[in-house]
Chain A
Amino acid sequence: MTVSIEQMHFARSGADGFTLRIPHLQLSQGDRVFLHGPSGSGKSTLLNLIAGVLTGYEGSLRVFDAELSALSARQRDALRGDRIGFIFQQFNLLPYLSVLENVLLPCRVSAVRRKAVLSQESLERCGERLLAELGLDASLFGRQASVLSVGQQQRVAAARALIGRPGLIIADEPTSALDRNNCDGFLELLLAQCAQHDTSVLFVSHDQDLAKHFDRAVSLAGDGSCSG
């Protein structure tokens, strides 16, 4: 099981009294789940919890069969780096690294993902192949990430999330800065890559039209409750 949540309850510290309740949520290997909800419904909180950067929940939250509350901070960091690829809405890239260097970053941080790549091909070869498969022109590979358009940056971010074959891709509003054509093209390429390696996807967006690309949709209500 990629992600398994049972009767999880999380109360954010502070005076705002925000609480997130997820009675049941499961992602099996290869599942493609669309998560939506109005802003303030706790989408980011849920992602931070699954990523293991936010702790202190009650109930059960298992990621790749490990109960996160039982892991140390270092172990949660390692789990995240080894097995989860992230794509964010914006600011996905380190502006001072080249496109290819950005793609290879997870392999510098995680030995697991580095070895996963090296068992088949060289790091550079893999990075270039992924970038090409995501439709990025080869002339851009050596350029500084900061010169790319937003659409190009999201493709680089996708290649980086995919490198080393993590079991789960978490995409947090990756298409909200893209126009409709770009958005559909990007989604198709991303989901094709994930399907190829049976990678689970947790895709967050406020754009309900995108739900049709996914196996199922989960919605978070404004009060922090969840329905799927």
Chain B
Amino acid sequence: MFWLSLAWKSLVNRRATASLTALSMAISVMLLVSVEKIRVDTKSHFASTISGTDLIIGARTGPVNLLLYTVFRLGDPTGGVRWSAYQDLKAHEAVAWTVPLSLGDSHRGYRVLGTNLDYFNHYQYGRDQKLSLAAGREFDSPLDVVLGSEVASALDYAVGDSIVVSHGLGNANITTHDDKPFTVVGVLAPTGTPVDRTLHVSLAGIEAIHMGWVNGVRLGRVADDAAIPEPEAITGFLVGMKSRVKTFAYQRLVNDYTDDVLMAIIPGLTLQSLWATLSGVERALFAMSAVVVLASLLGMLTVLLAGLNERRREIALLRAMGTPASHVFKLLCGESMLLGAVGVAVGLALHYGTVALAAPWLLDTYGVVITLGAPSVATLGLLAAVVIGATLVGLIPAALAYRNALDDGLTVRV
């Protein structure tokens, strides 16, 4: 304890260099911890984009691709599921519920999703949270639309507003379904998932606006009171099983289905493999912040080595008083350990400050929820590694001081 307090006082005496060293350590620790935090939070956020759904079924394509366009509203659907096939698979005895998904239109860059009321009953995200309405009601008639929270806030829409949907997925589409405007009847509460960026209409609505179109071209006006036909196909559908045990058997059945070329994916597994493709970036980021920590440790080594010569007298004095050379060694190691510990403490404080300031912005801009919480076990491990690293780096000046102490004797000739 005495030696630690001596090391501390010696550090305080050299506060200008010591505090700068600790600060550079603190900044590197903040970077390291923040990257780790964002990594973990993004991952858990990502994994909770969809939950409660046992299988996602669509035209045969890559599993990640199917997940991207059905859940993340990214990329183009490569094909569809024939309505008859959907009806057939839906009627299977192991199936508890299905939610049909029909994509292909957009509104000012936001995707329009055709579905039915089961969507509001069965779609879940996060920890089995259901969708809830912030305003209005679910859609009822074909030309009703329920907006995701981001669509409503970004485009400043409210219940009662009228919306025209564009044909296709581009942002600058000139072919619009302006003959069939939709009416906003509801706005969903924020979820932090792609649902927020989606406009939800009924399947009938999708059919209604495409009446009189062939191959993406409008051939003529259709009478307003014309009957809306059954859809010929949908993009895909979500399936909830009566029993999870049946999932794999049903998945095989879908994959071997002969009337249509389909595939079924388990969302959790595919989310994981999608995350694995993104994790290269994540690892690069982590490696970079680890290198920054290494650089700050080298900076500390430089400062300690530069200060060593002036401290030879101090060490000779302690030796004269009977301090064993091994204690001199411990003193120097203790010093770098203290520097590391102060760096870690300040770095952690900086991290929490930054998170507190940046969290609302991250949520608004990227929909990523960064939580302020006690450091995780992994983070504590990183912090311990930094302190241990600092102590290990301190071994170098300590070893030099030890050798000097033996050479110098009682009086130092510098």
**Could you tell me if A77 and B322 are in contact, using CB atoms closer than 8 angstroms?**
yes
CB within 8 A of B317: which of A48, A94, A172? A94
Contact with A along B307-342 (1 / 0, CB 8 A): 000000110011111111100000000000000000
- Nearest-neighbour CB distance to chain A for B324, whole angstroms, equals 4
Q: Within the assembled complex, what's the spacing in Å between the Cα atoms of A105 and B406?
A: 20
**Could you tell me if B411 and A88 are in contact, using CB atoms closer than 8 angstroms?**
yes
CB within 8 A of A86: which of B10, B314, B321, B325? B321
Q: Which of B230-267 contact A (CB under 8 A)?
A: none
| CB within 8 Å for A53 and B410 given contacts A96-B9, A108-B2 | yes
**Could you tell me if B9 and A110 are in contact, using CB atoms closer than 8 angstroms?**
no
CB within 8 A of A48: which of B13, B321, B324, B409? B409
| CB within 8 Å for A109 and B322 given contacts A91-B313, A91-B317 | yes
**Could you tell me if B320 and A77 are in contact, using CB atoms closer than 8 angstroms?**
no
CB within 8 A of B322: which of A80, A88, A97? A80
**Could you tell me if B324 and A74 are in contact, using CB atoms closer than 8 angstroms?**
yes
Most buried by B among A47, A78, A105: A105
Is B12 part of the contact surface with A, judged by Cβ < 8 Å?
A: yes
- Between A and B, how many residue pairs show CB distances below 8 Å? 67
Q: Which residues of B contact A74 (CB under 8 A)?
A: 324
With A47-B410, A81-B323, A88-B320 already in contact, 4 other A-B pairs whose C-beta atoms are closer than 8 Å: A44-B409, A86-B410, A88-B411, A108-B2
**Could you tell me if B321 and A110 are in contact, using CB atoms closer than 8 angstroms?**
yes
Q: Within the assembled complex, what's the spacing in Å between the Cα atoms of A48 and B322?
A: 13
Q: Which of A92-138 contact B (CB under 8 A)?
A: 92-97, 105-106, 108-110
Q: Within the assembled complex, what's the spacing in Å between the Cα atoms of A96 and B313?
A: 13
Q: Within the assembled complex, what's the spacing in Å between the Cα atoms of A82 and B319?
A: 12
Q: Within the assembled complex, what's the spacing in Å between the Cα atoms of A7 and B6?
A: 41
Q: Which of A65-95 contact B (CB under 8 A)?
A: 73-74, 77-82, 86, 88-89, 91-95
Number of interface residues of B (CB under 8 A): 21
Q: Within the assembled complex, what's the spacing in Å between the Cα atoms of A74 and B13?
A: 29
**Could you tell me if B320 and A80 are in contact, using CB atoms closer than 8 angstroms?**
yes
Is A54 part of the contact surface with B, judged by Cβ < 8 Å?
A: yes
5 contacts between A and B (CB under 8 A): A86-B410, A89-B411, A96-B10, A109-B321, A172-B410
Q: Within the assembled complex, what's the spacing in Å between the Cα atoms of A89 and B313?
A: 12
Q: Within the assembled complex, what's the spacing in Å between the Cα atoms of A89 and B412?
A: 11
**Could you tell me if A73 and B409 are in contact, using CB atoms closer than 8 angstroms?**
no
**Could you tell me if A88 and B410 are in contact, using CB atoms closer than 8 angstroms?**
yes
Chain B residues within CB distance 8 Å of chain A = 2, 9-10, 12-13, 313-314, 317-325, 406, 409-412
**Could you tell me if A44 and B317 are in contact, using CB atoms closer than 8 angstroms?**
no
Closest chain B residue to A112 by CB distance? Answer: B322
Is A51 part of the contact surface with B, judged by Cβ < 8 Å?
A: yes
Q: Within the assembled complex, what's the spacing in Å between the Cα atoms of A110 and B327?
A: 13
Contact with B along A37-67 (1 / 0, CB 8 A): 0000000100110010110000000000000
Q: Within the assembled complex, what's the spacing in Å between the Cα atoms of A39 and B10?
A: 33
Q: Within the assembled complex, what's the spacing in Å between the Cα atoms of A86 and B406?
A: 17
Q: Within the assembled complex, what's the spacing in Å between the Cα atoms of A106 and B320?
A: 9
**Could you tell me if A97 and B410 are in contact, using CB atoms closer than 8 angstroms?**
no
CB within 8 A of A78: which of B319, B322, B409, B412? B322
**Could you tell me if A106 and B324 are in contact, using CB atoms closer than 8 angstroms?**
no
**Could you tell me if A73 and B324 are in contact, using CB atoms closer than 8 angstroms?**
yes
The 8 closest A-B pairs by CB, nearest first: A81-B322, A96-B13, A48-B409, A77-B324, A86-B320, A91-B313, A53-B409, A109-B321
Closest chain B residue to A53 by CB distance? Answer: B409
CB within 8 A of B321: which of A44, A81, A95, A96? A81
Q: Which residues of A contact B320 (CB under 8 A)?
A: 51, 53, 80, 86, 88
Closest chain A residue to B12 by CB distance? Answer: A96
Q: Which residues of B contact A110 (CB under 8 A)?
A: 321-322
- Nearest-neighbour CB distance to chain B for A169, whole angstroms, equals 12
Q: Which residues of A contact B410 (CB under 8 A)?
A: 44, 47-48, 51, 53, 86, 88, 172
| CB within 8 Å for A95 and B323 given contacts A53-B410, A86-B410 | no
- Nearest-neighbour CB distance to chain B for A106, whole angstroms, equals 5
**Could you tell me if A54 and B324 are in contact, using CB atoms closer than 8 angstroms?**
no
**Could you tell me if A172 and B12 are in contact, using CB atoms closer than 8 angstroms?**
no
Q: Which residues of B contact A106 (CB under 8 A)?
A: 321-322
Closest chain B residue to A51 by CB distance? Answer: B410
- Nearest-neighbour CB distance to chain B for A156, whole angstroms, equals 12
Q: Which residues of A contact B314 (CB under 8 A)?
A: 94
Q: Within the assembled complex, what's the spacing in Å between the Cα atoms of A44 and B314?
A: 18
Q: Within the assembled complex, what's the spacing in Å between the Cα atoms of A224 and B325?
A: 29
